[in-house]
Amino acid sequence: MSSRLALTKPRPAPSEAPRPAPPPLVLRGMSCEAGDLRDRAGALGVGPHAVALMLRRGVTGPEAQARLLRPRLADLRAPTGMAGFEPALELLQTAQQRRMRIGVFGDYDVDGVTTTAILTTYLEALGIDVVARAASREGGYGFQLADARALREAGAQVVLTGDCGTSDHEALAWLEGQGVPTAVIDHHQVPERMPPARALLNPHQPGCDFPFKGLCSAGVAFYLCASLRSAIAKKTGSALPDPRAWLDLVALGTICDMVPLVDENRILVRHGLGVLASRRRPGLRALLESAGVGEDDPIDETHLGFRLGPRLNAPGRLGPAEPSLLLLRARSSAEARAMAERVEHFNIHRREHQDAIVREALAILAADPRTPERRGIVVAGESWLHGIVGIAAAGVVAQYRRPALVLAVDRARNEARGSARTAGDVDVHAALRACAPYLRRYGGHRAAAGVSVDPAQIPALVEAFDAAVAEQIRERQLGEPAVEHDGVLPFEAIDEPLLVDLEQLAPYGVGFAPPRFLCEDAVIERVRVLKGRHLSMALRQGRVGFEAIAFGQAAAHPNLAPGERVAFLFAPLRSSFRGRVRLQLMVESMWPARGF
């Protein structure tokens, strides 16, 4: 993969392998007396553990707790205060009345593809002629002039952009100059200069009074489709398709775009998971099958985030996102299965590239004697795919627990493009801002960001990023990030009612952290390595034993053996395999029990 060669430091012999140290731990949020927990739990109809987890996540009032447990679509706030909403509705109603062809362009990630699928398939269900186009990573981020021209050549008389467009002034201005009105459906940060579109639907724009700012583009698109249906039905009295049938796509975009799972997003995802469980959409049915999810398996947010999302992202990471869009727009099972096979092909190649980049990046860093002392890490390689380096950066962060920037160098273009991922509370966007003299472009947010840089500036960037992160840590007195957990959970307390409690609080994600409990001492009865990377274990505490799985942790525990006593962070869950359901422990990190 990379043309850079590096000698790695010799690995210690198995007998010399260092034993993993426990991470710094802190109990999450606020707690509550046992008697009060029982009283609250009885009033809500759940167990005490459910109340404790809500309290630890800041959901303290009885009404808020009841809404979280039983979210209703009726609780969604109306989009009346959303800036740009009325012009967008007028534009679409005019297009529908005049039978105009609408072009829809979406970004290459899951939010962009689902937004495009929502808009196109719902407009088609209303009888509107639509032409759809998805971005290609090679064409660059956002809505480009070439994309605008392609839609115009395809006969588009109105153009909508999904998950992009807010900053794409050139393409929008060209369309407006051609007499083609545009509407932008987006959720990215708004620059000082507003886009030259007829309507901008973006909760982050100045003057937008919609109270919830956490919607992804798929969520904004759902609001637009629901309001369009109401507006047309009010004028015509016609029975029109119900947008709630599109909530499966909304849930997929929301989970995979890592927006906060609170307020409106929690309602949309909870109901979207219910729609997805029916498996009515051919494309998602085929994608679930391709991802190994059985017809009778219950579906939760982890399936979307870890099985469906990476597959839908794969084509856009390697080139055009068109296969993913075609899959979601498929109308028959045969068409969907064919497209799912194409998407899976891309996903296999994505995994191969990802593993190779992470492996090479870690080897380069291991060979650099300054790596252990750096607070921010930069690593670059030639022949790396820039669509994969974001995932690789996450792999470097997992290894070093420090912010990392991974760059793919393209000598032919004289450009290095890369992605940064944070660790702890470091703001990587702010760190890159401090490195701006060495960058051509950068953008993103505090947890993740992207850059473009002249390859000649990489050595200077290595030092500047390290210094910027170190300065941020010094000024804000940031230590090694502590890992939050929900308290000690003994094995004897893990049973079916507990699982029911935890499932009632789903979906978990950004803004509503998944359960993470602490086990201080358990005995390993059996251990084996799966696929060279994962640990499958049988663990016992007293008279109670459980099967456990620790993904990707085989290398960290090369000498693990029966009889050893370990401590670990974990979550209990239901494991389903070939129709058999059992309770299992998902181990996040593990270390020797105290005193051993």
118-166 residue pLDDT tens: 999 999 999 999 999 999 987 777 899 999 999 999 999 999 999 999 9
Question: Is 41's pLDDT higher than 50?
Answer: yes
What does the pLDDT read at residue 9?
32
Question: Is 102's pLDDT higher than 90?
Answer: yes
> pLDDT category, 13, cuts 50, 70, 90?
very low
Average pLDDT over residues 533-557: 93
User: Lowest-pLDDT range, 5-14, 33-42, 229-238, 586-595?
Assistant: 5-14
What does the pLDDT read at residue 196?
95
Question: Is 553's pLDDT higher than 80?
Answer: yes
Question: Is 14's pLDDT higher than 80?
Answer: no
What does the pLDDT read at residue 479?
64
> pLDDT category, 72, cuts 50, 70, 90?
very high
Average pLDDT over residues 48-76: 93
pTM attached to this predicted model: 0.88
> pLDDT category, 18, cuts 50, 70, 90?
low
Closest to 255 (Cα-Cα) out of 226, 296, 214, 203: 214
* pLDDT tens by residue, 362-391: 999 999 999 999 999 999 999 899 889 998
Q: Could you give the CA distance from residue 25 to residue 518 in angstroms, rounded to a whole number? A: 9
> Between 189 and 388, whose confidence is greater?
388
> Between 36 and 452, whose confidence is greater?
452
Average pLDDT over residues 462-490: 87
In the predicted model, what is the mean pLDDT of the chain? 91
What does the pLDDT read at residue 478?
66
Q: Could you give the CA distance from residue 519 to residue 52 in angstroms, rounded to a whole number? A: 17
Question: Is 16's pLDDT higher than 60?
Answer: no
Question: Is 397's pLDDT higher than 50?
Answer: yes
Question: Is 422's pLDDT higher than 50?
Answer: yes
Listed in sequence order, the residues at least 6 apart from 324 whose beta carbon sits closer than 8 Å to its beta carbon are 110, 113, 134, 312, 313, 314, 315, 316, 343
User: Residue 101 to residues 88, 96, 154: CA-CA distances in angstroms?
Assistant: 15, 9, 9
Question: Is 10's pLDDT higher than 70?
Answer: no
Closest to 199 (Cα-Cα) out of 287, 279, 86, 113: 86
* pLDDT tens by residue, 149-158: 999 999 999 9
Question: Is 11's pLDDT higher than 80?
Answer: no
What does the pLDDT read at residue 4?
30
Q: Could you give the CA distance from residue 249 to residue 162 in angstroms, rounded to a whole number? A: 13
> pLDDT category, 2, cuts 50, 70, 90?
very low
What does the pLDDT read at residue 450?
87
What does the pLDDT read at residue 139?
73
CB of 258 within 8 A of CB of 217?
no
What does the pLDDT read at residue 595?
62
CB of 419 within 8 A of CB of 390?
yes
> pLDDT category, 225, cuts 50, 70, 90?
very high
Question: What's the one-letter identity of residue 265?
Answer: N
Average pLDDT over residues 567-588: 86
User: Lowest-pLDDT range, 25-34, 221-230, 450-459?
Assistant: 25-34
565-577 and 580-592: which strand pairing? antiparallel
Token pair belonging to 533: 């990377």
What does the pLDDT read at residue 37?
87
Question: Is 111's pLDDT higher than 80?
Answer: yes
All domains in the chain, ordered by first residue: 14-30+484-592 (2.40.50.460), 75-344 (3.90.1640.30), 368-476 (3.10.310.30)
Closest to 40 (Cα-Cα) out of 65, 72, 70: 65
* pLDDT tens by residue, 253-288: 999 998 999 999 999 999 999 999 999 999 999 999
Burial of 251 (0-12, 13-18, 19+ CB in 10 A): buried
Share of the chain above pLDDT 90, in %: 77
